[in-house]
Structure 1
Amino acid sequence: MNNKILDVAILGSGFGGLGMATRLKDKGIENFQIFEKSTELGGVWRDNIYPGAACDTEAHLYCFSYFPNLRVSRMYAGQQELLDYLNRFADHFHLREKIQFSSEIIHAAWNNAEQLWDLQIKDKGLIKAKVFVPAWGQLNKAVIPQFKGLENFKGQYFHSAEWDTAVDLKGKKVVSIGSAASAVQYIPEVAVEADHLTVFQRSANWIMPRNQVVFTEAQLDEFEQQPEKFFDSRNYLHNFRENGFDRTQQGTDAQKEGIRVALEHLHKHVQDEELRQKLIPDYEFGCKRILRTDDYYPALARENVSLVTDAIAEITAQGIQTAAGEFIEADVIIFGTGFASQNFNGELDIVGAEDTTLSEAWQDGAAAYIGLTVPSFCNMFLVYGPNTNLNHNSIVSMLEIQHQYIADSVEYILENNASLDVKQQVFEEYNEDIQARMAGSAFSSDCSSWYKNAAGKVINNWPLNVETYRHYTVFNADDFSQGNTAAKSECAYEA
C-alpha cells in the first residue's frame, strides 16, 4: 500500500461514506481515501436487490440537500433508482478517484506512539491515517437464525439481503420466514411468481399506507427547471415528518391517530376476519419499526398465499415442521430475518488507546457521544452510530448533520495537529440525558425490537426529532481531552 499518511480514512461507500467525503472536500481537505470491500459503491442499495426493494422514506427527503434528486421518478424510490443516484453523486463530486475498491479494512488500532490509526487492508497491507471514520451503517450484516435442521433442507434458501437471482420461483412452493420491512416489499412480488407462498410471521406490524406518487414528465421538468419547487416539496415533507414524531410518543393524540390510520388500512384491504386478527399487533404503536406499503395486505389475501403465526419447530429435508404439528412443504426458503442491527462495528476489531476493543467497550450495549465518538477511541468518528436511527423522518437528514460535525472536527484536528478524545464525563452525561428522554418513547415500551439490546436498553434510536439532534450536534473542542491536558495521556499529542 501507499506509505503516505492519510488525513482521513473512511470505511464504506454508501450514503454515509460518500456524503462524508463531500463535506471534507467542501473544506478543502483532499488527503483522504474511502475503503470499500466490494467492487462497487452503494452500500445497502448495492446489496439489497430483492424484488420490490425500495425506500419507505419519501425520495424528496431521501437525498442530500446539496445534491437533490430532481428527476427521481416516484415518491418512494426503488433500489436501482437510489443506486443510480449514488453513482451520479460520486461522479458529480469526483469521488471515484478517492475510493479503493476491493479493500476491506480487517483490523484498526490506535497507535499511541505515532498518534495515528493503523489500518490493515485485507491482502494489501497497512495504511496510516490521522482520523478514522467508519461509515458502515446499522443494517449491513444479514442474519439467518440457527433453526434446527436447516442443514438438512434439500431445497434452496437464501437471505433477502443476499438474493439469489439464479433461483427461479415460478411454480415453486416458497416459504418466507419473516414479515417485516424487507419482507413486506418482496412478498407481493414473490406471491405472483410462486405456486404457493407461505409467510411465517413472528409478530404483526403496524403498517401505514404508502400512497405512492409517480411523477409525470411535466412535473420532473418543473423540478429540474425550478428547483425551488422541489425544495418546497422537500421542506413540506420534512416538517410533516417532524410533526409525525409525536406518533412515537406513548399516549399522545398523534399516536392514537397513527393507530387509527393503520387499522383503517388493514380493514380496507383484508376482509377475512381470521386473517385480519393475525395482522393486528399486540404491542405499542412505534415500539417496532412502522412500515409503509400498499400491496402487502392484498398479497396476503391471495388464494395462493398463507400466513402462519405458529413457531418453527424444525426445518426438515422437504420443508418446515411447526410447533403446532403442521408440516409445510417447501422448495425454496427466503429468510427475511433482518440484520445484526446492534453490531455497529461489524466484524472489524477496532482497538483504542487503552488496548481495549470497541466490542469490549460496548459489551453492555453500544453508546457514543452524539452517536459519533467514544472515549479512548481517539480521532475516530462513527457515521450512523448508536442512538442515531429514526422511526419518523429521513436518516439522510441525520447523516448530513453528522457529516458536518465530523468535517468540523477533522478541520480542528488538522489545524491544531490534535488528537481528540471525548471526555468521559461529557460522554456519560450525554448518554444519561438521552436515555432519560427515551422514557416516554414507544421505543422503550414493552416489546422486543431491533432497537433494543438484550437488557432492554434502546441503543439504536434517537429519542427526539431531527432538528433537536441538529441542536445537539455542534462541534465544541471543550468536549474533548487533547494535548498535554488529556485525561488519558495515551491520546495526548505532545507538541
Structure 2
Amino acid sequence: MNQAVNPSMPSIVIIGTGFGGLGMAIQLRNSGLDSFILLEKASAVGGTWRDNTYPGAACDVQSHLYSFSFEPRHDWSRKFGLQPEILGYMQHCVDKYGLADHIRFNKEVASAAFDEATNTWTVITTDGESFTADIVITATGQLNQPAWPNIPGMETFSGRMFHSARWDHDYDLKGKNVGVIGTGASAIQFVPEIVPRVKSLSLFQRSAAWVLPKPDRPFYRWEQTLFRRIPAWDRFYRYLIYWKNESRALAFTRFNSLLEIFAWQAKRFAKSEVRDPHKLRHLIPDYKIGCKRILISNDWYRAVDQPHVNLVTTGIERIASDGIVTSDGALHKVDTLIMGTGFAASEFLSPMDIKGRNGLSLNQAWANGSEAYKGITVSGFPNLFILYGPNTNLAHNSIVYMLESQFQYVLSCIETLQAQPGIAMDVKPDRLQVFSATTQQKLQTSVWDSGCHSWYLDRNGKNTVNWPGFTFTYRKATRQVNPDDYDFLQPS
C-alpha cells in the first residue's frame, strides 16, 4: 500500500474496524477488490463494541437486524445482543472473510491529505508511518470519542474516576460510595448492574430520560434450530423486525403526536416500578418524548428506587477531593466517580486532521456544522468517503442497515473510478448544498426540533446527526452513484 498506486485496481485505506470498516472490507472482497488495508487505532477490532465493556453493555436494536444481511447468525442467545456476543460476531466476520491480513493494529490516524498532482491521499499515523492510496474510507463511527464533562475541580478528586466507555475492570466497586454523572444510554445499562454491589450510589441527573420496557428474552433452542434449518424463516423474522421498527419513523419525523402513546406507556411503567414519590417525580421528563434518545430497560427504575441510591437533580457546581458539590452547596461524598456522559457524536472524524483540495481542512469546511452529500462525500475532498457520516444516524431502526446502503454507494463510486484510471471524483458544491438544505428543512418537522438539548445537536444547535426519514428511501437514494453529482478531476 505504501508503494506506487495501481491505477487498474484502486488502493484503498479504510479507517476503523467497527461494523462500518469490517462490512466495507467484506464487500470490497466480495467485489474482487483486494488492494485495501484497514487502519485501527486499538489492538483489536470492534469499534464501540470493543470499547464499551461496562457491566450490562447491550444493544437496543434486535440481534437479527443488528448484524449484516449478507452474514446472518442463527444462534443469537437473546432477542437483543449483549456486548460480548456482538463483539464475537464481528471477530467471526474477520475470520470468515480473511480480513486479518488487511488490518494494521495500533495505527491511529493523525492526518490525511489529498495531493492534486497525483489524485492520491497520504495518510499518516500517530507513530509517523505513511500510507498512500487512491481512496480513503472513514469508518470511525459517531460513538468513538468519549465526552468528558467540563466540571471545575475534576483534577482535585482523590478517588478513582473513569468514563463508562473506558471501564476500569481492575477496580472493585464492592462497598464503595459511587457517584455516577449522567443518566443516558450507557448509565441506564450499567447502573442496575452495579447497584447491588456498591455501598451507596449518588446518581447525578441533568435531565430525565424517557424509558420504555425492553422486549428482550433468551431465544428458545427450538427457535435457534428453526433459524438454522429454515433460512427463509430467518430472513422473514428479520423482515418483520425491520418493518416494525421502520413504522416508527413517521412518529419521529412527521406525526410527533403519535409518540404520546409511548409517553403514556413510559409513565405507566415508571409508576409501576418506582415507590419513592420524590424519585418518581424527577424520573419523568419534562420534554417531548423522542426529542432525546428513547431508552429501553427492564431494571432501570427498580435500581434507582433502591434506598441506597440517591437521585440528585440539583446542578453540579464543582468536584472536590472527596465528592461532588452541587449548586445548593451540598457535598455529596463519594470515593468513586463514573462518567456516563456519552460521546462527542457530532464531532465527526475528530481528532484527525483532514486536508482536501487547495489545503482546505475539514474543520474549515464544517465551520458552520458537519454536512456531507448523502452523508458520505464532502465538496473539496475527492475520493474521500465517510461511513456513518453526518445525518445518517437513526432513532428508530438499525444503523447496520444504513451502513449496508452506504457500502453499495461507495462500491458504485469505486466502479466509476475504475472506468477512468487516475481520476478523482469530487461532489459538486451545489449538490451538497441542496441536499443539506433539504435535510435540515425536513428536520424542522421532526421531534428532535421540539426544543430540548440533546447529543443530536452540535454546539450551534444544528442537528448534524439524524436522518430525517425512512431508511428505505435512503437505500433507494444510495443504490447507485449519479456521475452528474460529481466533478471528475485529472491529476494536475
TM-score range, shorter chain: over 0.9
Bigger drift between 47-56 and 101-110 goes to 101-110
| Corresponding letter in the other structure for 2:82 | G
User: Following the alignment from structure 1 to structure 2, what is the Cα–Cα distance between the partners of residues 152 and 100?
Assistant: 38
Residue 325 of structure 1, CA deviation: 2.0
Residue 253 of structure 1, CA deviation: 4.5
User: Following the alignment from structure 1 to structure 2, what is the Cα–Cα distance between the partners of residues 131 and 119?
Assistant: 10
Residue 439 of structure 1, CA deviation: 1.5
> Is 1:46 aligned with 2:53?
no
Deviations 1:177-210 (A, max 9, x none): 0010000000001101101111101101111110
Could you tell me the percent identity over the aligned residues?
Answer: 38
User: Following the alignment from structure 2 to structure 1, what is the Cα–Cα distance between the partners of residues 264 and 64?
Assistant: 26
User: Following the alignment from structure 2 to structure 1, what is the Cα–Cα distance between the partners of residues 466 and 151?
Assistant: 29
- 453, 456, 460: which one pairs with 2:465? 460
User: Following the alignment from structure 1 to structure 2, what is the Cα–Cα distance between the partners of residues 250 and 262?
Assistant: 21
Match of 1:60 in 2: 64
> Is 1:190 aligned with 2:203?
no
Deviations 1:58-108 (A, max 9, x none): 111100101012111001111100000000011111111111111222110
User: Following the alignment from structure 1 to structure 2, what is the Cα–Cα distance between the partners of residues 303 and 455?
Assistant: 40
> Is 1:348 aligned with 2:362?
no
> Is 1:308 aligned with 2:312?
yes
> Is 1:475 aligned with 2:484?
no
Residue 333 of structure 1, CA deviation: 0.3
SS of the residue corresponding to residue 121 of structure 2 reads strand
Match of 2:89 in 1: 85
User: Following the alignment from structure 2 to structure 1, what is the Cα–Cα distance between the partners of residues 475 and 347?
Assistant: 25
Q: What pairs up with 1:358-397 in 2 under 5 angstroms? A: 358-397=362-401
| Corresponding letter in the other structure for 1:286 | G
Deviations 1:207-257 (A, max 9, x none): 111021211222112211112222221110100001011231465452121
User: Following the alignment from structure 1 to structure 2, what is the Cα–Cα distance between the partners of residues 174 and 437?
Assistant: 43
SS of the residue corresponding to residue 482 of structure 1 reads strand
Q: Answer whether contact 2:184 2:209 (CA < 8 A) is retained.
A: yes
Match of 1:292 in 2: 296
Q: Answer whether contact 1:248 1:285 (CA < 8 A) is retained.
A: no
> Is 1:445 aligned with 2:450?
yes
Deviations 1:465-489 (A, max 9, x none): 1111112223111110014xxxxxx
> Is 1:160 aligned with 2:164?
yes
- 56, 76, 79: which one pairs with 2:80? 76
Q: Answer whether contact 1:246 1:255 (CA < 8 A) is retained.
A: no
User: Following the alignment from structure 2 to structure 1, what is the Cα–Cα distance between the partners of residues 127 and 276?
Assistant: 57
User: Following the alignment from structure 2 to structure 1, what is the Cα–Cα distance between the partners of residues 87 and 441?
Assistant: 38
SS of the residue corresponding to residue 180 of structure 2 reads strand
CA root-mean-square deviation: 1.3
Match of 1:118 in 2: 122
Match of 2:3 in 1: 3
> Is 1:105 aligned with 2:96?
no
User: Following the alignment from structure 2 to structure 1, what is the Cα–Cα distance between the partners of residues 34 and 154?
Assistant: 49
Residue 124 of structure 1, CA deviation: 4.9
SS of the residue corresponding to residue 58 of structure 2 reads coil
> Is 1:425 aligned with 2:430?
yes
SS of the residue corresponding to residue 62 of structure 1 reads coil
| Corresponding letter in the other structure for 2:338 | I
User: Following the alignment from structure 1 to structure 2, what is the Cα–Cα distance between the partners of residues 251 and 462?
Assistant: 16
Residue 44 of structure 1, CA deviation: 0.6
Residue 36 of structure 1, CA deviation: 0.7
Q: Answer whether contact 2:116 2:491 (CA < 8 A) is retained.
A: no
Match of 1:268 in 2: 272
Q: Answer whether contact 2:118 2:491 (CA < 8 A) is retained.
A: no
User: Following the alignment from structure 2 to structure 1, what is the Cα–Cα distance between the partners of residues 253 and 135?
Assistant: 37
Q: TM-score, normalised by structure 1?
A: 0.96
SS of the residue corresponding to residue 432 of structure 1 reads helix
Residue 429 of structure 1, CA deviation: 0.7
SS of the residue corresponding to residue 231 of structure 1 reads helix
Q: Judging changes above 3 Å, is the alpha-carbon distance between structure 1 residues 329 and 439 closer, same or farther for their aligned structure 2 residues?
A: same
- 34, 41, 50: which one pairs with 1:37? 41
Residue 260 of structure 1, CA deviation: 1.6
Match of 1:413 in 2: 417
User: Following the alignment from structure 1 to structure 2, what is the Cα–Cα distance between the partners of residues 459 and 253?
Assistant: 23
- 144, 147, 151: which one pairs with 1:140? 144
Q: Which runs of 5+ in 2 are unaligned?
A: none
Q: Answer whether contact 2:12 2:136 (CA < 8 A) is retained.
A: yes
> Is 1:278 aligned with 2:282?
yes
User: Following the alignment from structure 1 to structure 2, what is the Cα–Cα distance between the partners of residues 3 and 471?
Assistant: 37
Q: Which runs of 5+ in 1 are unaligned?
A: 484-491
Q: Answer whether contact 1:249 1:255 (CA < 8 A) is retained.
A: no
Q: Answer whether contact 2:77 2:218 (CA < 8 A) is retained.
A: yes
Deviations 1:34-67 (A, max 9, x none): 1111111110101100000111111111001010
Q: Answer whether contact 1:444 1:457 (CA < 8 A) is retained.
A: no
Residue 339 of structure 1, CA deviation: 1.0
Q: What pairs up with 1:180-329 in 2 under 5 angstroms? A: 180-249=184-253, 252-329=256-333
User: Following the alignment from structure 1 to structure 2, what is the Cα–Cα distance between the partners of residues 323 and 83?
Assistant: 41
| Corresponding letter in the other structure for 2:130 | L
SS of the residue corresponding to residue 241 of structure 2 reads helix
Q: Judging changes above 3 Å, is the alpha-carbon distance between structure 1 residues 408 and 55 closer, same or farther for their aligned structure 2 residues?
A: same
Residue 147 of structure 1, CA deviation: 1.1
User: Following the alignment from structure 1 to structure 2, what is the Cα–Cα distance between the partners of residues 47 and 414?
Assistant: 36
User: Following the alignment from structure 1 to structure 2, what is the Cα–Cα distance between the partners of residues 272 and 303?
Assistant: 9
SS of the residue corresponding to residue 193 of structure 1 reads coil
Q: Judging changes above 3 Å, is the alpha-carbon distance between structure 1 residues 151 and 253 closer, same or farther for their aligned structure 2 residues?
A: closer
Residue 308 of structure 1, CA deviation: 0.6
Residue 166 of structure 1, CA deviation: 1.2
Q: Answer whether contact 2:179 2:203 (CA < 8 A) is retained.
A: yes
SS of the residue corresponding to residue 55 of structure 2 reads coil
User: Following the alignment from structure 2 to structure 1, what is the Cα–Cα distance between the partners of residues 122 and 476?
Assistant: 33
Match of 1:489 in 2: none
User: Following the alignment from structure 1 to structure 2, what is the Cα–Cα distance between the partners of residues 110 and 422?
Assistant: 15
SS of the residue corresponding to residue 328 of structure 1 reads strand
- 11, 17, 23: which one pairs with 1:13? 17
SS of the residue corresponding to residue 59 of structure 2 reads coil
Bigger drift between 473-482 and 115-124 goes to 115-124
Deviations 1:316-358 (A, max 9, x none): 1111111112211101000001111111012110000121110
Q: Answer whether contact 1:173 1:329 (CA < 8 A) is retained.
A: yes
User: Following the alignment from structure 2 to structure 1, what is the Cα–Cα distance between the partners of residues 106 and 276?
Assistant: 51
